[in-house]
Structure 1
Amino acid sequence: MMNKILSVENVEKYYGSKGNVVKALDLISFDVFKGEFVGVMGPSGSGKTTLLNTIATIDEVSSGSIYIDNKDLTKITTKDIAKFRRENLGFIFQDFNLLDTLTIQENIALALTINRYKKSEIDAKVRKVASELGIEEILSKYPYETSGGQKQRCACARALITNPKIILADEPTGALDSRSAQLLIEMISGLNKQLGATILMVTHDSFTASYCDRILFIKDGKIFTELVKGANTRKQFFNQILDVVALLGGDIRDVR
């Protein structure tokens, strides 16, 4: 039996006040299982980022429930939310979000440091994840001394370090050129395939999405359709994604 990591149940999200209410999410329900790499796509304004923000505990739902490893996020107190986020969620952002005043090692270790792990344990965990991502030689450098690709690897290492239940990736290739974007999505795919990380990724990019096991397409705050890669090659899956993008109006970046 597959282990359910994330369960989104009848989630609604409204913005605005009486007389001017916008429904950003409209009764969305889906599950993500352990070891899955799931993509979320949809036109601008479809609700993708709102959905990710509610799962990330950055935004609150108006109604419905979100469970991570059977814990209802909507029931966690404000006092406990930061701790829950540090211990259960990993994040990969479009612009890396590294702290320039910390070394690469300190950036990767930040969540463990905040959670007061022993220094010896932190060092061992950082070395292990740095080795897996091939960045051992830059641990003592600062972000400004490293390349874009090395910063990406650092961001992936930081997302992995706490062994999170799920990694949330928000347009991770959005600010990169084609070559860097391909290297990053291959790295994220590697986290999933080789290390068993469970990943939910919002993306506009069909090429990036073709690395996923499954894509949820969102339109007007609702799930429009779902594509499962199954036995298809990545190229076949890419073409299927393009077909759905065309149906949705083609205003997602679909050409690389």
Structure 2
Amino acid sequence: MDKILSVKNVEKYYGNKGNIVKAIDDINFDVFRGEFVGVMGPSGSGKTTLLNIIATIDDVSSGHIYIDDKDLTEVSQKDIAKFRRENLGFVFQDFNLLDTLTIKENIALALTINRFKKIEIDEKVIKVASDLGIEDILSKYPYEVSGGQKQRCACARALVTNPKLILADEPTGALDSRSAQMLIEMISHLNKELGATILMVTHDSFTASYCNRILFIKDGEIFTELVKGENTRKQFFNQILDVVALLGGDIRDVR
């Protein structure tokens, strides 16, 4: 399997000499092409900090992060935004769609910024919209479509640049149960049917049960790892609950 993401001896400190907080403590793991990996842990465990570092929003204090063998710690600030646009896709908790742009324009935004030709943009947007069943609403604005259609638009936007890695930060955190299930099934579709490689931070055990593998973080360190393997999603869900019970904290386990 091709290694898409490699996190090597990563540490992250905040504060100064008199008051240093170690948010990430020597974390190591890999994500391979086509995987759907979840990151779980109580609030304050370091999981969001880890995602922000991988997303190039924050810098490491020490260690290295490689995406497709490119060391992010060596990418200059001048080039980091371009690297992010070309290699990473994002699914946010609140979709982050722009109401002044149509669904098509929201999906196409990263392609436009990257100066793709109009004919290429149209082809890519129509293809991903067709894959996600929203080709009939491309001319509408976000406030004119349903929550489920917004979710599909957000997923299409994350996928349209064919990113090496999609990062999802608590994507179901602000949704009701029905909408949350719709969204996680859509993200799972991106992985299973469209081959997207996904790393997702979540508090929710039900959401996490859609992953192939879960990394549990506690106090900035990897506490343990679960692999779904041949288990059913229900069996995997119960295994996740067992680890959550060991971790304690405020991870949600009821959907």
- TM bucket (normalised to shorter chain) is over 0.9
Partner of 1:58: 57
Count of residues in Structure 1 that have an aligned counterpart in Structure 2: 255
Partner of 1:105: 104
Q: Percent identity?
A: 87
How far has the Cα of 1:194 moved from its partner?
0.5
Partner of 2:7: 8
1:238-249 → structure 2 map (5 Å cutoff): 238-249=237-248
1:72-221 → structure 2 map (5 Å cutoff): 72-221=71-220
The AA in structure 2 aligned to 1:228 is V
- Aligned to 1:168, the other structure's residue is in SS state strand
CA displacement, residues 180-229 of structure 1 (integer Å, 9 cap, x when unaligned)? 11111011001000011000000000000000000000000000000000
Q: In structure 1, list runs of 5 or more residues that go unmatched.
A: none
Between stretches 126-135 and 244-253, larger displacement belongs to: 244-253
The AA in structure 1 aligned to 2:126 is R
- Aligned to 2:38, the other structure's residue is in SS state strand
- Aligned to 1:85, the other structure's residue is in SS state helix
| Structure 2 contact 25–221 (Cα < 8 Å) conserved | yes
Between stretches 206-215 and 242-251, larger displacement belongs to: 242-251
The AA in structure 1 aligned to 2:81 is A
Partner of 1:70: 69
Q: Following the alignment from structure 1 to structure 2, what is the Cα–Cα distance between the partners of residues 108 and 195?
A: 17
Q: Following the alignment from structure 1 to structure 2, what is the Cα–Cα distance between the partners of residues 55 and 251?
A: 24
- Aligned to 1:99, the other structure's residue is in SS state coil
Q: In structure 2, list runs of 5 or more residues that go unmatched.
A: none
C-alpha RMSD of matched pairs (Å): 0.5
Q: Following the alignment from structure 1 to structure 2, what is the Cα–Cα distance between the partners of residues 81 and 213?
A: 29
How far has the Cα of 1:142 moved from its partner?
0.7
How far has the Cα of 1:251 moved from its partner?
1.6
Q: Following the alignment from structure 1 to structure 2, what is the Cα–Cα distance between the partners of residues 29 and 221?
A: 11
Q: Following the alignment from structure 1 to structure 2, what is the Cα–Cα distance between the partners of residues 151 and 45?
A: 30
How far has the Cα of 1:250 moved from its partner?
4.6
Partner of 2:222: 223
Q: Following the alignment from structure 2 to structure 1, what is the Cα–Cα distance between the partners of residues 198 and 251?
A: 21
- Aligned to 1:215, the other structure's residue is in SS state strand
How far has the Cα of 1:137 moved from its partner?
1.0
